[in-house]
Amino acid sequence: MSVLFELDRKTILARLGGDEEILEIMIDAFLSDYENNCQQLLAAWSVRDAGLIAREAHTLKGLLATLSDESGAEQAYLLEQKARQGAIADQDAMVDALVQRVRTVAGVLSAR
């Protein structure tokens, strides 16, 4: 069960050496690109391409981890692992949940 996303500025800033400017640059980059990432995952899912799903899930895992969203990164990790094992049947819910998670994160970031 995923936990609600809250922007943990303290943790992220600790990783960025306290640099607020870089944090803002990073958030702006996420907001300008997240929908594109979601669409790529959905496109991979629509053709049931396990390799592509794994790659897109891996990318989202990295993005969410960068924003210290451990719960979202875990969701992406699980999907990535399933896809690597070729176990992609009946993963609609996982894909939808991950896309939803990314959009939620984007919503929180937009409202900061």
- List interacting residues with other proteins (CB under 8 A): 15-17, 19, 21-22, 25-26, 28-30, 32-33, 36-37, 55, 58-59, 61-63, 65-66, 68
Q: Considering the complex, what minimum distance in angstroms separates the CB of residue 70 from other proteins?
A: 10
- Between 22 and 50, name the residue whose CB sits nearer to other proteins: 22
Encoded tokens for 2: 């995923």
- Kindly state the smallest distance separating residue 3's Cβ from other proteins, in Å: 18
Q: Where are the beta strands (DSSP E) in 4-57?
A: none
- Comparing CB distances to other proteins, the nearer of 43 and 93 is 43
Q: Of 63 and 88, which has the nearer Cβ to other proteins?
A: 63
Which two structure tokens, joined as six digits, stand for 81? 């692992």
Contact 7, 72 (CB under 8 A): no
Amino acid at 43: A
Treating both helix axes as pointing N-terminal to C-terminal, what angle do 70-84 and 92-110 enclose, rounded to 10 degrees?
150
